[in-house]
Chain A
């Protein structure tokens, strides 16, 4: 009986477990192995270097900067996404005419790839020539055309990077908030009004917001993890045929160039960096989840 139970279990779970082993656990193990070797341009290195790759990465200014870049990016994108997607959800929730249509409009960019969005942002909306869409609008108000992607001081490129991600993901988070809003039972609102709460801010503060706690935690954590993994829009907007500049270089972009790109094919340092990063992400996810849950309970 026991053996038959095991057989049935593995009949269902086996294919997935094998794949998970081969494409997740073996890579992590192999990566750990590589991180202790001098693995330039090879996946079967012979020269053991101990912790050198780790000390190298942890003192590598470019790697530390990339974590700084992520932090700056997260500090910009997470609050704006949460506030704006919640705002959109609240507004959409109030209209009755054509609500599905309006929701679709905001959700539509979710179907668009980062590559395509980067293209529109870099080559058209924020193009540096005076016929770029944003520069044209600037021109109406007598503004000088700006090189949005190319200007480092002040860092105008952040405007491009943040707005493209907002456009792509606001709809997704709005849908999450909408679903959560519709789960708040009507009687809570009615009870609040009976208690004398005004229908505007007070109701929002005492009924809506508490009802959205779960969704808020989910949006914050998902948003943070996604910001950590930023690659596509950075690579396509700031990268070119010659490589990538040292600013606004998030961790994944740096690891890509270090280990697989034109930056050196150094799989030892690349693996060490990837493992450090994985550890950081796990810590941040656990901590943020815990802190948020505690503060909201």
Chain B
């Protein structure tokens, strides 16, 4: 559906709009062009060099990013959708108190609690340990809140049909609610994955040992080093954004929905 704002537009203003958009689009694409040009200018040999360079364990850091981001995204979906469903649908005397306790933490941004969280994770012995990177990220109050809002609107009739078929609440959740919510789950998943892949502050603190660096920490270390190897850095940057670009292109529909949901409801 197109809002009729443009109905009475003259040709001149229509051309102007397109011109402005074209210039803006070119500006937006420029940084990507720069990255590819600087990183892969000669040929693909820089990429090979990147994976064999002994300065930074780049291949290892890419693998670490996968090992962190994929389970973190999937785990967060499971933990938070369960909690969101429980808060929305399972009657319990203290449910509203629990909901307050969840929503209250939204006021305290996780980035501000990095010092105390570091203290807890280091006490668990998870410094320089991939568990320290993955596990704390599973418990997102924002995701729980969004799932709860979504499940509040989930058609009750569907759930009741499931109950009549003899399913327990747990069964209804997995066999009725989840299969009928794939669009919403995908939306949250895409947002989570991009956030997880791109985060810097937490892995910077926890991954002391270079064998646990994520790709963002590796790039950041190279960037703030005394003598940055610029070509390698750009090649590394180009390689590091490939997975997210892939997710972006394949799942853009869900991504747009996810942004709209997280932005407008959160």
Quick one: which of A15, A94, A123 contacts B230, CB cutoff 8 A? A123
Report whether A231 and B111 are in contact in the complex, using a CB–CB cutoff of 8 Å.
Answer: yes
List residues of chain B with CB within 8 A of the CB of A6: 92-93
Q: How would residues 243 to 266 of chain B score, 1 for a CB under 8 Å from any chain A CB and 0 otherwise?
A: 011011000100110011001101
Q: How far is the CB of B105 from chain A (nearest CB, A)?
A: 5
Q: How would residues 19 to 50 of chain B score, 1 for a CB under 8 Å from any chain A CB and 0 otherwise?
A: 01100110011111011001000000000000
Q: How would residues 91 to 121 of chain A score, 1 for a CB under 8 Å from any chain B CB and 0 otherwise?
A: 1111110000010111111111111111111
Report whether A241 and B225 are in contact in the complex, using a CB–CB cutoff of 8 Å.
Answer: yes
Interface of B is mostly: helix
Distance between Cα atoms of A208 and B197 in the complex (Å): 36
Report whether A27 and B123 are in contact in the complex, using a CB–CB cutoff of 8 Å.
Answer: no
Within 8 A of A (CB), among B229-250: 230, 233-234, 237, 240-241, 244-245, 247-248
List residues of chain A with CB within 8 A of the CB of B173: 12
Report whether A199 and B8 are in contact in the complex, using a CB–CB cutoff of 8 Å.
Answer: yes
Q: Is A175 an interface residue (CB 8 A)?
A: yes
List residues of chain A with CB within 8 A of the CB of B38: 123-124
Distance between Cα atoms of A107 and B116 in the complex (Å): 34
How many pairs of residues, A versus B, come closer than 8 Å at their CB atoms? Answer: 298
Count how many chain B residues have C-beta atoms less than 8 Å from C-beta atoms of the other chain: 97
Report whether B263 and A172 are in contact in the complex, using a CB–CB cutoff of 8 Å.
Answer: yes
Report whether A181 and B3 are in contact in the complex, using a CB–CB cutoff of 8 Å.
Answer: yes
Given A123-B228, A123-B233, A260-B118, the answer on whether A23 and B198 have CB atoms closer than 8 Å is no
Distance between Cα atoms of A241 and B116 in the complex (Å): 25
The number of chain A residues touching the other chain, given as a range, is: 35 or more
Q: How far is the CB of B38 from chain A (nearest CB, A)?
A: 6
Report whether A189 and B3 are in contact in the complex, using a CB–CB cutoff of 8 Å.
Answer: yes
The residue on A at minimum CB distance from B233 is A119
Distance between Cα atoms of A10 and B120 in the complex (Å): 24
Q: Which of A53-61, A150-158, A266-274 contacts B (4 or more CB under 8 A)?
A: A266-274
Q: How would residues 160 to 184 of chain A score, 1 for a CB under 8 Å from any chain B CB and 0 otherwise?
A: 0000000100011101100111101
Given A13-B83, A20-B102, A186-B4, the answer on whether A105 and B113 have CB atoms closer than 8 Å is no
Q: How far is the CB of B199 from chain A (nearest CB, A)?
A: 8
Q: Is A43 an interface residue (CB 8 A)?
A: yes
List residues of chain A with CB within 8 A of the CB of B263: 172-173, 175-176, 218-219, 222
Distance between Cα atoms of A116 and B218 in the complex (Å): 11
User: 9 nearest interchain CB pairs?
Assistant: A12-B86, A27-B116, A31-B116, A19-B139, A16-B83, A113-B198, A9-B92, A13-B86, A282-B107
Chain A interfacial positions (CB closer than 8 Å to B) = 2, 5-6, 8-13, 15-17, 19-20, 22-31, 34, 43, 88, 91-96, 102, 104-125, 133, 167, 171-173, 175-176, 179-182, 184, 186, 189-190, 199, 203-204, 208, 214-215, 218-219, 222, 225, 228-229, 231-232, 235-236, 239-241, 252, 255-256, 259-260, 267, 270-271, 274, 277-278, 281-282, 285-286
